[in-house]
Amino acid sequence: MRLFFAAAALLSLVNVVHAEDLAFDVRSGQTGVKEMYIYMGNCVSAGQFRTKVLKEPAHGTLVVRRETFIANEPPCQGRKFVGTKFYYTSAKGFRGTDHLSVNLGYPIDSSELQYSYTTYDVTLNVR
């Protein structure tokens, strides 16, 4: 089963650190895919993320890739965006709760010199 989550947000012009808690259900031994991208109000890609894994999962593996993909929801449906995909695979036979934490830096200007950072503390319910 591919678990799919897309988060799109409008950019803030404030350079602050945010924290968000996220939770996902993942099937044991299978890869769950989460994708995150950000766009400006005019449906233009905001650029590359700066990604740092702060805490690796204890009961599985995490692979982070920058990829280009197409938005599947309005108002930017069909537009290409640069984003980040997270691939989590639990250890064979593991069932329970796993945790990871990542920090994403979103560019807030076209030169990509200023970033706004968000830390995501993720709970994975592995069944």
Q: What is the CATH number of the domain that holds 37?
A: 2.60.40
Please tell me the total count of domains within the chain. 1
Q: 47 pLDDT band (50/70/90 cuts)?
A: low
Q: Is residue 1 part of a domain?
A: no
- Greater confidence (46 vs 34) lies with 34
- Within 13 Å and on the Cβ side, how many CA atoms surround 54? 15
Inside any domain, residue 13: yes
Q: Domain containing 34: what range?
A: 6-126
Statement: the pTM of the whole predicted model exceeds 0.85: no
Name the residue among 107, 50, 55 with its Cα closest to residue 84.
Answer: 50
